[in-house]
Amino acid sequence: MCRYINHAPQTKDVFLKIPSDLSCSGKEKWKNIKIDKCIAPIVEALQKGGIDMRGSCCGHGKGPGEINLQDGRTIKIIEDGHR
């Protein structure tokens, strides 16, 4: 999915909820997090829709991207033609 394979990763700041078990303070908090630019719109839309996440990666051209949801499910992001 990532078009920046040979360059430094491109990121975008997205305001996300950090679950308490991933927070240094042990409390849920909101924070701007650097997200791979090519999947940032999807991550942002999920957060705005109330879907909590634990992490994400676009795959950086080495495989499918994924967004790990708080409830244990994973959304796979597969570029058209790479099924």
The pLDDT-based confidence of 68 (bands split at 50, 70, 90) is very high
pLDDT in tens, 14-27: 999 999 999 899 99
For the chain, what are the domain ranges? 11-77
pLDDT exceeds cutoff 60 at 80: yes
The pLDDT-based confidence of 61 (bands split at 50, 70, 90) is confident
pTM value is 0.82
Mean pLDDT of 18-40: 93
The pLDDT-based confidence of 67 (bands split at 50, 70, 90) is very high
Q: How many angstroms separate the Cα of 45 from the Cα of each of 15, 16, 48, 51, 56?
A: 11, 11, 5, 9, 13
